[in-house]
Amino acid sequence: MRKKIIAGNWKMNKTVVEAAGLARSIADQAGEISDPLILICPPFTALTEVAMALKDSEIQVGGQNMHAEKSGAFTGEVSAEMLLTSGCSHVILGHSERRALFSETSAVVNAKTIAALVAGLIPVVCVGETLEQREAGTTNQIIEEQVGGSLDSLSEDDMLRTVIAYEPVWAIGTGKTATPDMAEEVHVYIRGLLAEKFSQEIADEVSILYGGSVKPANAPDLFARENIDGALIGGASLTAELFVPIVKTMEKLEV
């Protein structure tokens, strides 16, 4: 059975003190929930403190990015080992903001994905189209390129340790949301690409998260779709009062 995951991407928000406090609030309000997996991805500066705040809970911690190299003259970057020793189990790679604002190509994302897997991190690989691409009718082509390029050279075992997040770029931070049917359609397409690239058995096991303005109000309809295995949440993950109800929505569906 595919793992259900609710991940919070805090982006460039929260000081160390604020992040640790929010992590504790989420843990307190979530209680003993272990299914779905709760994943919190704070800024690099807060990783260690957040991991310490969550050490007695089931909640896991992830990085928001990493470099493909193990070490070296890469000012401002962090390595997989740095994330691991800060308490991370996962790392977000290829987020739309990294692709758009920092010119990361699928080849760059692929190198990072391979490095994460080698180091023992679980990569959360993001794919998604812009509004212009959707309106031009090229969503499938964009998704195919990003999935194929970002997952190039991965083995079946690698893929079983990898999570995909579909994030329609036009629905991030805009208040717009793909309808559940629209989101499900792309998730089905991604699963089909995985079946072609690997096998149907592998495709059936990979968790595919939805990452486009998920809120407590729209979570039930999104999570009711067969191929949506959770969410990668931005703004709504910055308060326990919004994030935990989304987690509990998925938990209820699992009962």
pLDDT of res. 255 = 45
Residues paired with residue 126 on neighbouring β-strands, in sequence order: 165
- Mean pLDDT calculated for residue range 129-143: 91
pLDDT of res. 46 = 98
Domain boundaries, the chain: 5-254
Does the pLDDT of residue 34 top 90, yes or no?
no
49, 104, 144, 167: the catalytic one is: 167
pLDDT of res. 171 = 76
Q: Which fold has domain 5-254?
A: TIM Barrel (3.20.20)
- Mean pLDDT calculated for residue range 58-87: 98
Of how many residues is the chain composed? 255
Distance CA 84, CA 64 (A): 13
Does the pLDDT of residue 99 top 90, yes or no?
yes
pLDDT of res. 173 = 65
Would you state the structure tokens that stand for residue 32, as one six-digit string? 């003993």
- Mean pLDDT calculated for residue range 94-99: 95
Any catalytic annotation for residue 129? no
pLDDT of res. 175 = 63
CA distances from 120 to 90, 154, 213, 229 (A): 9, 14, 29, 22
DSSP letters, the chain, are: -PPPEEEEE--S---HHHHHHHHHHHHHHHTT--SSEEEEE--GGGHHHHHHHTTTSS-EEEES---SSSSSS-TT---HHHHHHTT-SEEEES-HHHHHHS---HHHHHHHHHHHHHHT-EEEEEE---HHHHHTT-HHHHHHHHHHHHTTT--HHHHHT-EEEE--GGGSSSS----HHHHHHHHHHHHHHHHHHT-HHHHHHS-EEE-SS--TTTHHHHHTSTT--EEEESGGGSSHHHHHHHHHHHHHHH-
Does the pLDDT of residue 240 top 60, yes or no?
yes
- Per-residue confidence at 211, pLDDT binned at 50, 70, 90? very high
Does the pLDDT of residue 60 top 50, yes or no?
yes
**Tens-digit pLDDT profile for residues 144-202:** 999 999 999 999 999 999 999 999 988 776 666 689 999 999 999 999 999 999 999 99
Nearest one of 164, 223, 170 to 192, comparing CA atoms = 164
More confident residue, 212 or 120: 120
Does the pLDDT of residue 41 top 80, yes or no?
yes
- Mean pLDDT calculated for residue range 128-136: 89
Contact 246, 218 (CB under 8 A): no
- Per-residue confidence at 212, pLDDT binned at 50, 70, 90? confident
67, 90, 95, 187: the catalytic one is: 95
Does the pLDDT of residue 40 top 90, yes or no?
yes
Any catalytic annotation for residue 95? yes
